[in-house]
């Protein structure tokens, strides 16, 4: 049998490396295969552009993200990839955007893997949008740029800036709506030492060369999508017009004062801060009339203070970004202005206090007590689920034990282990301490665990309402399924 020698080795045809069989391919097929491989490599290594829409906060990001998510296909036809997120978008609802995965990768320093995913798309432009990008540090941005440069990925920043007084007032409203804030606007406004949107722009300017800045108050008149398409260098006429539906509107003055008093009363009755309380009420206000026209409180003392701290930043940004020239401290045009915030309504506060106390006493009669606390850690081991948190039943009783409802069926937890929690073991004025707990649920159940609710038991034998789960923990995680 004839042998073929390569590199001094003698091989039969069957033992030849694949390279020796190239002659067996038809010339046209071989040419096509080589050309396809070269094309794929060229596509992978070609310079692409990553656009980061960083907000800024309170500049219509949610409305813009809803529009982007609804036009993924149309954007792709113009060469822009907007990775959509698994989120149900409803009118007037807040959106989280699609950039949080990259944000977490940057913070955890797993940037290369995420950059590779971004580079793998077929489009030449990729758009990620998240207000979380504002929270990246200079070190974070340096790392991001380093990895992007190594991957031949250009980064361009898109940001919207809002008139100073408006953005501060909107931030005040957000605290009342989402964080059970109860102070008046003057107290809040005079406590402001810097404007986050300016801090973000100055930080990004140090690291990145290309930054598109737009004046939100001007662009909102024609729709934010027009300016966004300009930054992306695509034809806005080829895309559906962005609607004018309000997302997360401000509260009216009447709604603001009602919720401000309710927030204060809740904290006094229950000695607790529960953001879900204010969020639930504000959402009811907003979705009852999402397009309602709202007022703005114009406090002269706050206006003077914001002018003092903001003018140098505005001048600096205008010098570097002439397109942002309409940016001002406050523009009264088109606004319903209220000169003074009403004094707190003590009669309303008394009414709410009595109402909350009444329902608390009623719940006591029904042996179903309110509870402060939260579940702040969960872990799955080979043997079961470990749940940790803290609880303090109403009346400052220490928890004597716990009961757990698994898939809606209650069972007592015998191996309750009280534990020291320096971070949450708060000593109250009456000497009682928040009760830290650690509960272990073994995997010896006949069914998958789909839902878990934890209740505290008081010394008097009553059961509390379910202990809240921390926002950072999802009860839908696969951790509840022992057979996965």
CATH of the domain at 399: 2.60.40.10
Q: Which domain holds residue 426?
A: 367-480
What pLDDT score does 422 carry?
Answer: 44
* Same domain, yes or no: 227 and 99: yes
Structural domain contains residue 229:
yes
What average pLDDT score do residues 182-210 get?
96
Alpha-carbon distance 253 to 147, whole Å? Answer: 48
Any idea what the CATH number is for the domain that residue 183 is in?
Answer: 3.40.50
> Strands 153-161 and 125-129: what pairing?
unpaired
What average pLDDT score do residues 381-405 get?
68
> Strands 211-215 and 153-161: what pairing?
parallel
What average pLDDT score do residues 382-398 get?
67
* Same domain, yes or no: 185 and 243: yes
Contact status, residue 301 vs residue 186, Cβ threshold 8 Å: yes
Residue 248: pLDDT band by 50, 70, 90 thresholds? confident
Residue 476: pLDDT band by 50, 70, 90 thresholds? very low
What pLDDT score does 449 carry?
Answer: 65
Structural domain contains residue 346:
no
User: Per-residue pLDDT for 418 more than 70?
Assistant: no
Give me the percent of the chain exceeding a pLDDT of 70.
71
* Same domain, yes or no: 373 and 332: no
* Same domain, yes or no: 320 and 421: no
User: Per-residue pLDDT for 216 more than 80?
Assistant: yes
What's the mean per-residue pLDDT of the chain? 80
Higher pLDDT: 471 or 342? It is: 342
What average pLDDT score do residues 155-161 get?
98
Residue 444: pLDDT band by 50, 70, 90 thresholds? low
Structural domain contains residue 164:
yes
Structural domain contains residue 283:
no
CB count within 10 Å of CB 17 equals 9
User: Per-residue pLDDT for 227 more than 90?
Assistant: yes
What would the pLDDT profile of 36-65 be if each residue is shown by its tens digit?
A: 554 454 555 578 999 999 999 999 998 899
* Same domain, yes or no: 201 and 83: yes
Residue 23: pLDDT band by 50, 70, 90 thresholds? very low
* Same domain, yes or no: 399 and 325: no
Structural domain contains residue 254:
no
User: Per-residue pLDDT for 329 more than 50?
Assistant: yes
* Same domain, yes or no: 381 and 429: yes
Q: CA triplet 86, 89, 91: central angle to 5 degrees? A: 175
Contact status, residue 170 vs residue 232, Cβ threshold 8 Å: no
Residue with tokens 């829409």: 53
Segment among 66-70, 132-136, 442-446, 472-476 with least mean pLDDT: 472-476
Residue 429: pLDDT band by 50, 70, 90 thresholds? very low
* Same domain, yes or no: 76 and 218: yes
Segment among 42-56, 183-197, 246-260, 430-444 with least mean pLDDT: 430-444
What pLDDT score does 457 carry?
Answer: 74
pTM of the full predicted structure? 0.67
* Same domain, yes or no: 330 and 433: no
Structural domain contains residue 271:
no
Q: Which residues pair with 4 in a beta bridge?
A: 11
* Same domain, yes or no: 68 and 194: yes
What pLDDT score does 435 carry?
Answer: 67
Domain finish residue from 338, 359, 391: 338
What pLDDT score does 481 carry?
Answer: 40
Q: Six-digit token pair at 222?
A: 């024609």
Contact status, residue 306 vs residue 168, Cβ threshold 8 Å: yes
What average pLDDT score do residues 148-170 get?
97
Closest CA to 82 of 111, 56, 51, 106: 51
Structural domain contains residue 40:
no
Residue 357: pLDDT band by 50, 70, 90 thresholds? confident
CB count within 10 Å of CB 174 equals 16
Total tally of structural domains belonging to the chain = 2
What would the pLDDT profile of 78-103 be if each residue is shown by its tens digit?
A: 999 999 876 555 555 567 789 999 99
* Same domain, yes or no: 304 and 376: no
What average pLDDT score do residues 112-135 get?
95
Alpha-carbon distance 371 to 389, whole Å? Answer: 13
* Same domain, yes or no: 329 and 407: no
What pLDDT score does 393 carry?
Answer: 60
In angstroms, what is the C-alpha Rg of the chain? 29
What average pLDDT score do residues 229-252 get?
89
Structural domain contains residue 256:
no
């Amino acid at each position: 049998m004839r042998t073929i020698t390569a590199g001094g080795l003698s091989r039969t045809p069957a033992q030849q490396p694949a390279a020796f069989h190239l002659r067996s391919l038809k010339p046209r097929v071989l040419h096509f295969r080589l050309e396809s491989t070269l094309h794929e490599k060229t596509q992978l290594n070609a310079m692409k552009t990553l656009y980061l829409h960083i907000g800024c906060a309170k500049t219509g990001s949610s409305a813009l993200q809803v529009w982007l998510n609804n036009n993924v296909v149309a954007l792709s036809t113009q060469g822009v990839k907007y990775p959509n997120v698994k989120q149900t978008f409803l009118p007037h609802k807040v959106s989280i955007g699609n950039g949080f995965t990259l944000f977490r990768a940057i913070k955890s320093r797993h940037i290369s893997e995420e950059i590779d995913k971004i580079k793998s798309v077929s489009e030449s432009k990729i758009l990620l949008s998240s207000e979380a990008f504002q929270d990246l540090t200079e070190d974070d941005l340096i790392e991001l740029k380093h990895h992007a440069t190594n991957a031949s990925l250009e980064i361009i920043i898109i940001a919207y800036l809002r008139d100073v007084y408006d953005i501060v007032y909107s931030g005040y409203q957000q605290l009342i709506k989402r964080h059970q804030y109860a102070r008046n606007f003057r107290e809040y406004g005079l406590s402001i030492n810097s404007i986050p949107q300016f801090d973000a722009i100055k930080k990004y300017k140090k690291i990145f060369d290309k930054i598109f800045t737009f004046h939100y108050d001007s662009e909102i008149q024609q729709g934010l999508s027009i300016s966004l398409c300009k930054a992306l260098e695509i034809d806005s006429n080829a895309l559906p017009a962005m609607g004018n539906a309000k997302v997360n509107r401000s509260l009216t003055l009447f709604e603001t004062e009602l919720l401000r008093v309710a927030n204060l009363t809740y904290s006094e009755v229950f000695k607790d801060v529960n953001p879900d309380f204010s969020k639930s009420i504000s959402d009811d206000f907003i979705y009852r009339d999402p397009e309602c026209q709202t007022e703005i409180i114009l406090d002269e003392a706050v206006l003077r203070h914001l002018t003092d701290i903001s003018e140098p930043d505005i001048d600096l940004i205008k010098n570097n970004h002439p397109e942002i020239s309409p940016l001002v401290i406050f523009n009264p045009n088109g606004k319903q202005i209220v000169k003074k915030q009403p004094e707190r309504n003590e009669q309303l506060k008394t009414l709410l206090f009595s109402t909350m106390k009444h329902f608390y006493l009623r719940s006591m009669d029904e042996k179903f007590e309110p509870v402060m606390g939260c579940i702040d850690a969960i872990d799955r081991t080979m043997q079961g689920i470990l749940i940790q948190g803290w609880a303090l039943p109403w009346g400052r009783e220490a928890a004597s034990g716990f009961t757990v409802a698994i898939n809606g069926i209650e069972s007592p937890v015998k191996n309750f282990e009280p534990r020291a929690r320096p971070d949450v073991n708060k000593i109250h004025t009456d000497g009682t301490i928040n009760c830290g707990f650690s509960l272990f649920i073994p995997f010896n159940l006949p069914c998958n665990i789909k839902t878990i609710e934890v209740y505290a038991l008081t010394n008097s034998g009553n059961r509390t309402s379910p202990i809240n789960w921390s926002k950072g923990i999802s009860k839908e995680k696969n951790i509840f399924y022992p057979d996965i």
